[in-house]
């Protein structure tokens, strides 16, 4: 593995503690994602690592979250387009008949009637495109947000490769008068399964080999491998009330 940590390129978070509108303080944050590039000492065997989902956790100290002030599911909105095909079917049932003048016998015309019942059905299809606004930033409660690009089919996740929170207030905080230290620690982390390694010689590996490599690489990227539990910390930031 390289001597530099590629997750430095993966994500960046900066925070600022300022005066709040309805509380003592407001925590403002900017979170940016991008691909991390990995290469050996000779610049060969290059590949990239991207995150497909991350979690932002805030831990205030000496302050209490003002309930209802948390950034909701209204940031980083994108429009996902999906096509839907609607089928309609209509059944028709009735009686059909036909009278035929075939001959005249003894001056009396013979008009046999051919009659019967018939059933019919027809179906129609129409296709339309539906647009839905989906949040890339979702508040999960307990001062934690999930960051994930919405996908059209709802299954495959897209790489995080843009600013998702741009100078937005995450929450407002009430100061604890009994505490002399007031800080807010923000941590951006990702599960190992949400890291995607691509390119270079990795393309020659089988699916199981890539999965195993991802586990080993994630553990290597962890600041404290001995405490690795499937989660990698991408970035963190801590600010105090002196910044307000």
Gap between the Cα atoms of 205 and 193, Å rounded:
17
Gap between the Cα atoms of 19 and 173, Å rounded:
9
Gap between the Cα atoms of 71 and 137, Å rounded:
9
Q: Which residues of the chain have pLDDT under 70?
A: 1-8, 39-45, 74-133, 152-156, 220, 222-228, 242-244
Where are the domain boundaries for CATH 2.60.40 in the chain? 7-77+135-243
Beta-sheet pairing, 163-175 with 47-51: unpaired
Stated length of the chain: 244
Task: Give tens-digit pLDDT for 30-58.
Answer: 999 999 877 666 666 577 889 999 999 99
Fold of 7-77+135-243: Immunoglobulin-like (2.60.40)
What is the per-residue pLDDT for 175? 93
| Contact partners, residue 163, CB within 8 Å, separation at least 6 | 30, 31, 32, 33
What torsion do the CA atoms of 202, 204, 210, 216 make, to the nearest 10 degrees?
-50
């Amino acid at each position: 593995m390289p001597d530099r940590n590629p997750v430095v390129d993966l994500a960046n978070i900066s925070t600022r503690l300022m005066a709040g509108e309805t509380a003592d303080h407001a925590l403002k944050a900017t979170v940016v994602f991008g691909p991390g590039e990995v290469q050996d000492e000779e610049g060969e065997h290059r590949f990239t690592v991207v995150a497909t989902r991350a979690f932002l956790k805030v831990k205030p100290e000496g302050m209490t979250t003002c309930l209802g002030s948390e950034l909701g599911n209204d940031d980083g909105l994108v429009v996902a387009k999906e096509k839907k095909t609607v089928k309609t079917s209509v059944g028709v049932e009735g009686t059909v008949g036909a009278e035929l003048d075939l001959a005249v016998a003894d001056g009396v015309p013979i008009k046999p009637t051919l009659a019967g019942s018939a059933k019919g059905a027809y179906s129609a299809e129409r296709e339309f495109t539906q647009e839905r606004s989906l949040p890339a930033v979702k508040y999960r409660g307990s001062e934690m947000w999930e960051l994930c690009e919405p996908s059209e089919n709802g299954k495959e996740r897209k790489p995080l490769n843009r600013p998702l929170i741009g100078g937005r207030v995450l929450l407002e905080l009430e100061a604890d008068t009994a505490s002399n230290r007031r800080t807010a620690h923000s941590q951006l982390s990702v599960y190992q399964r949400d890291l995607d390694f691509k390119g270079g010689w990795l393309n020659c590996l089988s699916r199981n080999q890539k999965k195993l490599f991802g586990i080993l690489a994630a553990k290597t990227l962890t600041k404290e491998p001995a405490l690795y539990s499937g989660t990698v910390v991408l970035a963190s930031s801590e600010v105090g009330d002196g910044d307000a």
